[in-house]
Structure 1
Amino acid sequence: MHNRFPLTLLLAGAFFLFCGRTARAQEIRANVTVIANQVQGVDRKVFTTLQTALKEFLNNRHWTDDAFTPAERIECNFLLNITGVAGENTYKASLTIQATRPVYNSGYVTSLLNTQDNNVLFRYAEFQPLEFNDNRVVGNDPLASNLTAVMAYYVNVILGLDYDSFSPRGGDAYFKKALNIVNNAPDGKDITGWKAFEGQRNRYWLQDNLLNVKFLNFHDVMYQYHRNGLDIMYDDAARGRAAIMNCLNLLYAIHQDIPNSMLMQTFYQAKADELQKIFSKAMPQEKSRAAELLAQMDIPNAQKYQQMK
């Protein structure tokens, strides 16, 4: 049994904590949007059918061995923007992925992942089944399999981050599933994003960082930030903020060792606005220290943090 417990049961006593989930339901609730405004000469129904097929693929599949109640499902958004035609039934696209986690005792949800992948090439004919098998990621047609491999990869990253936020190092099993997809990914002409040499910001590097021992403290940050920080801020804002300040110190140690890593960039893409709001209400000394650390670690948002001082 996994140690990811529903927020509504966190304080409900030992019985619930040790019995865990009893109902069986899918793990994610994915909203899927396919847009193809840049594509001409293709029947629009193809993209409507693809949108429905992707939604069913993501929402109807069991991605873990744990039982999730409907209320526990992870809220996600997948936006597939088809940017061009690369051959018969073959498309180039970008994929924007967002996932959130509710914060205990509040109506607030925090962003776990907010990223864009610009290297999605796939083949899809209308009503073609979307298939994925962990044991044979490449499938019979690499171009057709690439779409489901990319989707499955990001689902596992989302699951890993979510589990990390509920229990210490809780997401490892899902980051390893993402590694398996990277290691066995579809290969072919113009299929990119899966290999180290193709750039410093791709699926390979995000998965590499998530399992690299140099980033071990990142997983402690995910737990402390959410469980010791956000989840207690409703009852004790100062204590929660102090826990998040400690997380910034842990992140800074990673930054000094490995500056400009993809994992840190991905974290701040999800958290920059939230961090600004959290520390805008801090005492002057704490606010100034947070702004200083964040501006060094997250250069694209440095000006935003400087305004907190």
Structure 2
Amino acid sequence: MQYTPQLKVLTCFVLFLLLNSGLMAQELRVNVTVNANQITGTDKKVFTTLQKSLMEFLNGRRWGDDVYTPAERIECNFLLNITGDLGSNAYKATLTVQATRPVYNAGYVSSLLNMQDNNVVFRYVEFQPLEFSDNRVSGNDPVASNLTAILAYYSYIILGLDADSFSPRGGDDFFKKALNIVNNAPDGKDVSGWKPFEGNRNRYWLQDNLLNVKFARFHDVMYQYHRQGLDVMYDDMNKGRGAILNCLNMLYAIYQDIPNSMLMAVFFTSKSDELQKIFSKAPPQEKSRAVQLLSQMDVTNAVKYQQMK
């Protein structure tokens, strides 16, 4: 075959597309597990198909405009534990969401999010397409749309937290997309978790806290904790730990103004084990201050922190 200028241009164009297909990779790398052990009388093949569809839904979409290489995709785990059959192909479930962030120059990943949502109700018919649009969150059937709305909501929360950890206020646009889902969420008899009066630990309150000016310092904490704390520890352990101690002081200022907030609870659920390890080998004065702050802000894990003394 003669290698004409036209063929050369075509070859370059194909290479460009191939290269950009890698550069424009989706943001998330999600492992999805659907557990339906509590459900009887239903063909379990339905849930196998659902698991595959959820994997494709979460991993096959681009959730924003930022460019991610395949190596930069955020590692996540979504566990959908189906707890009840409501009839008419509707189910109730819990959803556990976990996401991590790599630490610079280390083979270590830090937990960004580790929480369980107990208010999941959805309708699924085998092989039905999983659809979601930011412009039409509720869809035609609120119960059917609820699952994809919840998955999209947590995808945006994860992307926002990850972006916050790399640049100051980097996650704002993603948190606003989560707010859009809350404002336009499916509304039905069995659907819950989207409204403020449905509890003080739900999807509404998490996005409210993330966008509330009262928690503005939390975003500074996310950036400093990861970029000025964890990411410098390989080169300077004392400097990195000092930055994280400063973050605890900043969190304590938030705690004094707004104790028992959902955002603080979510943060410490993700970070408590890590914080214990970071300060367990700190100098006595730093360790004592960390134990004092952590025990007050995170009562659930106070015993864990007290063991560092």
Q: Under a length normalisation based on structure 2, what TM-score does the superposition of the two structures give? A: 0.93
Name 2:174's counterpart in structure 1: 174
CA contact (8 A) 1:22 1:67 kept: no
In 2, Cα distance between the equivalents of 1:174 and 1:156?
5
Q: Give me the identity figure in percent.
A: 76
* Alpha-carbon shift at residue 22 of structure 1 (Å): 8.2
2:253 maps to: 253
How many Å separate the matches in 2 of 1:262 and 1:147? 22
Which amino acid in structure 2 is aligned with residue 178 of structure 1?
A
Instruction: Note the residue ranges of structure 2 that are not aligned, 5 or more in a row.
Output: 1-20
Structure-2 residue corresponding to 1:296:
296
Corresponding residue SS for 1:86: strand
Matches within 5 A, 1:122-161: 122-161=122-161
In structure 1, C-alpha distance between the alignment counterparts of 2:47 and 2:102, rounded to whole Å: 31
SS, match of residue 66 in structure 1: coil
CA RMSD, aligned part only?
Answer: 0.9
Q: Does 1:282 align with 2:295?
A: no
Contact 1:192 / 1:198 at 8 angstroms: preserved in 2?
Answer: yes
Aligned counterparts of 1:292 and 1:38: Cα–Cα separation in 2 = 42
* Alpha-carbon distance in structure 2 between the residues aligned to 1:303 and 1:216: 29
Q: Which amino acid is 1:143 matched to?
A: V
Equivalence map 1:177-196=2 (5 Å): 177-196=177-196
CA distance, structure 1, for counterparts of residue 225 and residue 158 of structure 2: 16
Q: SS of the counterpart of 2:92?
A: strand
Give the residue type in structure 2 aligned to 1:51. Q
Q: Which amino acid aligns with 1:244?
A: I
C-alpha contact 1:74 1:100 (8 A) present in aligned 2: yes
Show the counterpart of 2:201.
201
Where structure 1 has 5 or more consecutive residues not aligned to the other structure, the ranges are 1-20
What TM-score do the two structures reach when normalised by structure 1? 0.93
Letter in 1 for 2:146: N
1:265-292 CA-to-partner distances (Å, cap 9, x unmatched) read 0000000000000000100010011000
- The equivalent of 1:118 in structure 2 is 118
Q: CA deviation at 1:190?
A: 1.4
- In the comparison of the two structures, how many residue pairs are matched? 289
CA contact (8 A) 1:265 1:298 kept: yes
How many angstroms apart in 1 are the aligned matches of 2:250 and 2:223? Answer: 12
Give the letter aligned to residue 62 of structure 1: R
Q: Does the 8 Å contact 2:143/2:190 carry over to 1?
A: no
Alpha carbons 1:101, 1:162 under 8 Å: kept? yes
